[in-house]
């Protein structure tokens, strides 16, 4: 069925609680024109993400920045890839093969270790300040 062909109707059963959740989401996200459009989009998005293994049941999937989403959408629109998922899959595969993913993880680990070192220095400084304050108080008492 073509994406613009919306002639087929599908009845679903949904709890009042779930419907309320959808309506609350739609009130704050007006880009979807209706419940039907939101549900259609959500189902197709879930299928495409699950198909290439990005989403396991129970996971929410990958969230992209607006800029990254625009870049990937442009690549698909220009015919370089069939779907956004294909772009992401190729990028991930290439980053593993080239070692870039390893470099990214290494940089994150260095950043994390640096943060831990900074926290240790901060704790040491706090302890020295406490010692200094205690010494100052004891000198006042003399």
Name the range with the highest mean pLDDT among 38-42, 90-94, 108-112: 90-94
CA angle 61, 64, 69 (to 5 degrees): 120
CA–CA gap between residue 120 and residue 126 (Å, rounded):
10
Tell how far CA 52 is from the center of its chain.
17
Q: Are residues 54 and 103 located together in one domain of the fold? A: no
State which of 63, 83, 111 marks the end of a domain. 63
Residue 2 within any structural domain of the chain: yes
Query: Is the pTM of the predicted complex or chain greater than 0.75?
Result: no
Q: Are residues 53 and 103 located together in one domain of the fold? A: no
Residue 79 within any structural domain of the chain: no
Q: Who contacts 47 (Cβ-Cβ below 8 Å, separation ≥6)? A: none
Q: 142 is in which domain, residue-wise?
A: 99-142
Residue 81 within any structural domain of the chain: no
Q: What is the pLDDT of residues 98-114, one digit of tens each?
A: 999 999 898 888 888 88
State which of 18, 45, 63 marks the end of a domain. 63
Domain count, the chain: 2
Q: Are residues 58 and 106 located together in one domain of the fold? A: no
Residue 47 within any structural domain of the chain: yes
Helical H segments across the chain, by residue range: 16-28, 35-51, 66-77, 84-98, 100-141
Are residues 88 and 73 in contact, defined by beta-carbon separation less than 8 angstroms? Answer: no
Q: What is the pLDDT of residues 62-90, one digit of tens each?
A: 778 889 889 999 999 999 988 888 898 89
Q: Are residues 51 and 6 located together in one domain of the fold? A: yes
Residue 13 within any structural domain of the chain: yes
């Amino acid at each position: 069925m073509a994406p613009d062909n919306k002639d087929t109707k599908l009845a679903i059963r949904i709890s009042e609680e779930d419907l309320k959740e959808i309506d609350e989401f739609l009130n704050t996200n007006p880009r979807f024109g209706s419940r039907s459009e939101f549900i259609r989009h959500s189902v197709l998005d879930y299928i495409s993400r699950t198909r290439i293994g990005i989403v396991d049941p129970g996971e929410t999937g990958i969230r992209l920045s607006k800029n990254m989403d625009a870049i990937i959408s442009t690549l698909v629109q220009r015919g370089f890839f069939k779907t956004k998922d294909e772009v992401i899959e190729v990028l991930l595969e290439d980053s593993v093969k080239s070692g870039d993913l390893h470099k990214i993880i290494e940089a994150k680990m260095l950043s994390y270790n640096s943060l831990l070192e900074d926290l240790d220095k901060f704790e040491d400084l706090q302890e020295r300040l406490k010692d200094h304050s205690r010494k100052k108080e004891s000198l006042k008492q003399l």
